[in-house]
A and B are shown apart, each in its own frame.
Chain A
Amino acid sequence: MVQASKRSLLKGAAAAVGAAAFAPQLFAQAKPVRIGYAIARTGPWTGGAQISQEPNYLLWAEQVNAAGGLDVKGVRRPIELVSSDDRSDIETCVRSYEKLMGSDKVDLILPPWGSNANFAVAPLANRFGYPMLAPTALSRKLVEMKLPYFFLLLQQPDRMVGALVDMLVANGVKTLAVIYVDDLFGLENYAALKIALRSTNIQLVEEKSYPGDIKDLSPVLRAIKDKNPDAFIGLSYPPDTILASKQSKEIGFNPKFYYASVGTAFQLYKNVMTPAGAEGVLGMGSWNSKTSPAAKAYFDAHTKKFAGKEPDRWASGHCWAALEILQAAVAKAGLDRKAIRDYVAATTHKTIIGDIQFTASENTATPGTVGQWQNGEFEVVWPVKSATAKLNPNKPAWK
């Protein structure tokens, strides 16, 4: 059960020492490209960081090195990851990046996990002139900061919630109840939802916020059940996504459309709710292994490397796309960070989740999407042109 990463790190280190001793010429020409990051391995952010983000960094470095190294303007150089635990603490996170960019002077950086950490590190990276392609940051405020070196891979709240409201309208939803976690993520999504609902006839019958460490949502869910809305939206994080789902099952609250946000696209959700229990649940998701052959290859490689641990069907894909973009940029522009930034900003990128293009910091090519659990797979069901399966507009009863 001991985490494999440590063992493989040791093995890697031993192999490197061995190779350096016996075949120094291997290392003579290829100076490694040092890529630094700090990410949560302990503390409350770990759940998200270790599902959607760090496994991808490790898999990517391994794949690139196995293929002969990172292509730096035609020269293959091995990737050396310089990483540390930010302990889910903003201060530690910022200081770690300051050290990486200011004194370690790594060649490139990879971003930390989550809107809050990115919010703190992005201005710093911008000052040092390090391009940062963030796969797990969701906040309009980050876009409004207009940082030229900062790029957001996820669809922002207005797009995600916009797609959801479009879907509800297209399926004749009349009444809606919403609960939202009372932090930056929940508040921004809630605000976006209110705006999206303005141009519709959907009536909001209940809206309540809750704190992130909530242990019991049943009083709120029972009140919502009494109002019998057509649709339920939880703007939630993984633990409360699962809490709300379990408690909805407990009290028999089963609206036609049941949507929960972060965590619905995790393998964990299917494990905890069972595939039959998850059937029909909607959530934030934008790809799966059917999206493209490259997505399938990525999915399989990830599952193989991490002993059956699947990437999530939302941010993991965007994280991989960010690494693909960075890799292409380095092949084109070398390690000149200004040139990398310009390449990222000006190009339409082909990635496993489709085309990505940035308008200022924002990815404006990926449409807002809605996912749904169907037969044990999280399918993209909206908009129709990105869909991997057809929407089931009548959630079956919880099992």
Chain B
Amino acid sequence: MSVSAWLELLASGLITGGIYALVALGLNLQYGLMRILNIAHGEFLMVGAYLTWMAQTTLGMSPLWMVPVSFAVMMALGVLIHWLTFRRLSATSPNLDIFEARGLMVSFGLMFLVQNFASWMWGGDLRGYDYLTDPVPLGAAQFAGNKLLVFALALLFSAALIFVLRHTLLGKGVRALMQSPTGAQLVGIDTQRLHPLMFGIGLGLSGVAGCLLSMAYTISPSMGEPYTVTALIVITLGGFGSMGGALAGGLLLGVIEALGMHFSNPSLKALLSYSVFIAVLLLRPRGLFAK
């Protein structure tokens, strides 16, 4: 294999990995920071994708405009859902483990609700549209414009989240919450406001991911579940709550899959990703990048 073919293969792996990372960010925020294992994460991604598709096909809006719109809509929805469900759960659960178990049940319920809502609202047909599919040459290789855009935005969002968490007061508060919820409360961090906000941002990010994915893939009400699974693998690889880890984990998974598919067979893709997953769980259970 020539050098350029290698580069091309790695780049295509990185692009897919960027998408994985983007999908994982929101879930990481919810599970890593609040122990809400939001199984419905992929479903909210699907709603983001449908909103974008609808705006594109009926209003003729550019899908790019829908990036902030999906974020805002899904974030508002997230705050509302948190207020309706998880707020009550955290008030009534005696400890974090019970909260996590109950939260899991609630998010299962949300999964069915959201999926069926989408079926009712938009029907079960596959949908899609054409946006930025023209290839953009990059050195000797070429990639679809929409994929490059998704990759760039995935990097941007990860970088922004990492920055916010590391360098702002809000980020400090969130990290304090992660390390010790009680301690955080004792030093005056307002968990009543921080929790819904973070849950909302998590959902907003899944809306953005859905918006971007709808540019590159066909969408249907059942598209969400596989992304939830991928997101779980990625955040396990990267370490719960670590945004940098999620980004690196996503990129790594993308590259491993691309190489594996090229040298063996795409049918073995699941075997590859799960082998990596199991190996990490056995050898580095706190994530690849845990110190």
Q: Which residues of A contact B (CB under 8 A)?
A: 1-3, 40-44, 46-47, 49-51, 88, 179, 182, 208-211, 213-220, 222-223, 226, 238-239, 242-243, 246-247, 249-252, 263, 266, 268, 271-274, 277
Contacts and interface: CB of A to CB of B under 8 A. Distances in A.
A222 B120 contact: no
19 contacts: A40-B124, A42-B116, A46-B125, A49-B124, A50-B124, A50-B125, A208-B266, A208-B267, A210-B267, A214-B269, A215-B16, A216-B258, A219-B262, A222-B12, A222-B262, A242-B126, A242-B218, A246-B133, A250-B135
Contact of B270 (A208, A211, A219): A211
Contacts of A266: 126
B123 to A, nearest CB: 5
Contacts of B133: 246, 249-250, 277
A268 B220 CA distance: 12
B221 A250 contact: no
Contact of A219 (B125, B126, B222, B258): B258
A218 B258 CA distance: 8
Interface in B122-156: 122-130, 133-135, 141-144, 147
If over half of B's interface residues share one DSSP class (helix, strand or loop), that class is named, otherwise mixed; here it is helix
Residues of B in contact with A, size category: 35 or more
A310 to B, nearest CB: 12
Contacts of A272: 128-130, 218
B221 A209 contact: no
B40 to A, nearest CB: 15
A296 B155 CA distance: 51
Contacts of B221: 42, 46
Nearest to A40: B124
A268 B125 contact: yes
Contacts, number: 137
Contacts of A242: 126, 128, 218
A383 B84 CA distance: 61
B5 A222 contact: yes
Contacts of B143: 250-251
B21 to A, nearest CB: 14
Nearest to A218: B12
Contact of B123 (A3, A213, A277): A3
Given A40-B124, A49-B124, A208-B266, A226 B5 contact: yes
Contacts of B220: 44, 46-47, 239
B282 interface: no
A277 B142 CA distance: 18
B261 interface: yes
Nearest to A214: B266
A240 to B, nearest CB: 9
A42 B267 contact: no
Contacts of A41: 119, 124
A211 B9 CA distance: 20
